[in-house]
Structure 1
Amino acid sequence: MDRRHFIAGAALAPFAAGASRAQSGPLRFVFPFAAGGAGDALTRIVADEVGRALNDTAIVEARPGAGGQIGTQAVLNAPADGRTFLLTPVAPIIIHPIIFPQLPYDPFRDLAPISLVTTFDFALAINPDTPAKTLTELVAWMKQDPRRTTYGSPGVGNLPHFFGALMAEKIGVPMQHAPYRGSAPALNDLLGGQVPMVMTTTSDVTELARAGRIRVLAVSGRERSPFLPEVPTFSEAGIPIVGSAWYALYTKAGAPAETIARVGRATMAAMRDAGVKEKVLRLSMVPAGSTPEELARIQKEDHEAWTPAVKASGFRPS
C-alpha cells in the first residue's frame, strides 16, 4: 500500500468509528419496570460506567409493563449487535418461563448473559397508620376484614408477587394481589393509603423506612438485611419463607462475543470500584459482578431451585 494512502486511512479511522457509532446510535440500557425506583437508579449507574469504559454514549430506557415482559421484548426486537442491553431482576428470567406457558420468548435461548450486577432481598411494608406493629399483628388485622388483604407488588409474576402468594398460603388467608408497573407507583399508593401493604425489594423501601414514612415488618433473606438490621426475617416473624434475588445484565443472543466480553469486564470492574460500590450500597443492594459463564450457571441453578416452589404454591397467572 502507498504510504500516503496508509497515513490518510489511519487519519480517517477515528472519524469512521465515530460515524459508525452515530449511525448505530447510543448504547441502550433497558430497565423493564417503571422509572424512579432503585432498579432504575442501578441501571443508570451501570449505563454510565459501561459507557465510560467503552468510550461510548449510553442512555437508559424504562419500558414497564407485563411484569417485565415488555422491556425484555424491546431488547429482543433490537438488532443483535451488542448495543442494546437488558438490566433486569431475577423474575423475568427464571420465574416467567415457569408461570407463563405462552411466554413469547425463551430467556435461556434468546438472551445472552453478560454479568451478575447486584444481589438483594424482599420486604413487606405497610403504612405506619396501620395498627399492626408486627407481622403476627398484621395477619390478625387482615383476618378481621378481607378488604385488608390486598398487597401491591412491582408487577404480576415477579418474585415480590410470588412471595405474597407464598405468604398467603402459609397464613391461610386469600390475599389479593394488586400489580403495579414498578415499585415506585406501588409505594406511592401505599403512602397515599390506596393499598394497605406492599411486597417489594429491600432497596426500594429502605429510605422510606428510615424516614418513618412506611413500616417494614419482615425481610426475605436467611439473615437480617444489613440495610434494615432491626427488621426480622419472615422466618423469625413466624412465616417460614426464605429467598433472595439479583439484578443482572443481558443482551440479545447472537450479539458479538467480543462485545459481550468487553461489557462484562466493564460491569465487573464497576462493581469493584469503591465509588460505584458506595452508590450501589446506598441503593440497599450488594454489588456483585460475574463472568457471562458464571451468570449462566446462577440462572440455571436458580431456575431449578425455584421451579418446585413456584409450582407448589399453586400460583397461576389470571
Structure 2
Amino acid sequence: MTVHRPVRAARRRTLSISMRALGAAALTLALVPCFGQGAETYPVKPVRMVVPYPPGGLTDTLARTVADGLSRRLGQPVVVENRAGAGGGIGTDYVAKSAPDGYTLLMTIPGPLTANIVLYKRLPYDPRTDLRPISDVAVARTVMAVNASVPVKTVAELIAYAKKQPGKLVMGSWGPGTQPHTIQAYMDKTYGIDMLHVPYRGEGPMITDLLGGQVNLTVGSITSLKQHIADGRLRALAVVGTSRARGMPGVPTFAEAGYKDNPFALVGPVSLLAPAKTPDAVVERLGREVSALVKTPAVSQKIEDMGAEPLGNLPGEAVAAYKAYLPVVLKLTADTGVSLD
C-alpha cells in the first residue's frame, strides 16, 4: 500500500490540474459567444449623435430625423447633442477622441473632414485617421441668397453691384472656412470685389441676421433658406452643384447663370461617422440600418422636403466617396488663400 501512495497522489494532482484546465477551457468557450455577438446585441444603452453646429441648420435637422428613425430600429434612444464651435472642429474633435464603441457618433457636413485640414495648421484631430465613415446620409444642396433689400436678381448683377460698393456688402457664413466663406474669398479674389465676411457659430444665428439685414447675403442650405425665399424676405440667385436642386427646381445653377467655376459646382454630403477604431461589425450594422432608414419612403421624403437629396450609402461606399472628394476640396480651399491660424 505504501508503494502505491505516491502514484495515487500523482493521479490526484493530475486530476486536479485536468479539472482546472477543463474549467478554464469551459470559461473561455462561454466567453467566445459574448464577443462574437457584440454587433448583434449592440446597442445595449443610449447612443449619442454629436452635431458640431448649433440647432436649427440642415445638419441638426437631418441628425434629428435620422436619430428618431435609428432609435426605433436599434431599440435604444439615439440622442442628438450639439457641440458647436471652430468651424465644426470642437464637436468633431470630441467624437474623434471618444471611446470607439459605437455609442458616440458624428453627423457633419464636409468642412470639418476636409477644408479644416487646410484651414487649421494645428488641427487637434486628423479626420483621415481618427474617424471612419458609416454612411453619407444625404447630399446637402446650398443656394446663394440675398436679403430682399439688396437690388440684384442674378449673380452677374451681384458682382456688378459689389464692384460699385467695395466693402459695403456683408456675406455671412456658418463658421470660418465653411462653404460660404470659401466662396466669398474666391469671388473676391477672382472677380475683383470686396465683400466683408462675418462668421457665425452655425446657420441658425446667421440666418437671423440675414433676415434682419445685418448680413446682406450668404450661401446657405436650401433646408434653412427655402421658406424665407418663398416668403419673399430673401431672394435666391443660384444653387451650388452641377444640376438644379430638387428642393428648388426653379433656381438656376451657377453654371446656368454663366459661372462654371469649380467652387460653384462642388456639393458635399452630410455624413455619419464613428471613431476610427470602432469595430467593423458595429460600423457595418449602423451602415445597414442608416441605409435602410434613408431609403424608406417616409424618411426619403422628409429629406427631400428639407431641400437635401437622400443618399444612404454603405460604409465602403462612403469611404470611397470621401477619398475621391477630399483632394478636390483641399485644392479648392488652398486656392482661396483662407487660413484660420
Normalising to structure 1: TM-score of the pair? 0.89
Q: Does 1:301 align with 2:321?
A: no
Q: Does 1:115 align with 2:120?
A: no
One of 212, 225, 234 as aligned partner of 1:205: 225
For residue 200 of structure 1, report the CA deviation from its aligned partner: 1.7
Q: Percent same amino acid among aligned pairs?
A: 35
One of 17, 31, 55 as aligned partner of 1:35: 55
For residue 25 of structure 1, report the CA deviation from its aligned partner: 5.1
For 1:64 and 1:28, the matched residues in 2 are separated by 15
Q: Does 1:51 align with 2:74?
A: no
Which protein shows a greater Rg? Answer: 2
Once the two structures are superposed, the pairs formed by residues 151-300 of structure 1 within 5 Å of their partners are 151-241=171-261, 242-300=265-323
Structure 1 stretch 202-211 or stretch 280-289: which is displaced more?
202-211
What CA RMSD, in Å, does the superposition of the two structures yield over aligned residues? 2.2
One of 301, 305, 312 as aligned partner of 2:335: 312
Structure 1 stretch 97-106 or stretch 269-278: which is displaced more?
97-106
Q: Does 1:74 align with 2:97?
A: no
Q: Does 1:125 align with 2:145?
A: yes
Q: Which runs of 5 or more residues in structure 1 are unaligned?
A: 1-12
Contact 1:170 1:239 in 2 (8 A): no
Contact 1:153 1:177 in 2 (8 A): yes
For residue 63 of structure 1, report the CA deviation from its aligned partner: 1.2
For 1:285 and 1:137, the matched residues in 2 are separated by 27
Change (3 A) 1:58 1:64: same
- State the partner residue of 2:85: 65
Contact 1:128 1:215 in 2 (8 A): yes
- State the partner residue of 2:103: 83
Number of matched pairs? 301
For residue 53 of structure 1, report the CA deviation from its aligned partner: 1.1
- Post-superposition Cα deviations, 1:145-177, rounded to whole Å, max 9, x if no partner, equal 234232001111122322222222232113221
For 1:67 and 1:303, the matched residues in 2 are separated by 17
Normalising to structure 2: TM-score of the pair? 0.83
Contact 2:45 2:76 in 1 (8 A): no
For 1:222 and 1:77, the matched residues in 2 are separated by 36
For residue 97 of structure 1, report the CA deviation from its aligned partner: 1.1
For 1:53 and 1:194, the matched residues in 2 are separated by 44
- The amino acid across from 1:206 in the alignment is K
- Post-superposition Cα deviations, 1:117-136, rounded to whole Å, max 9, x if no partner, equal 00023211111121112222
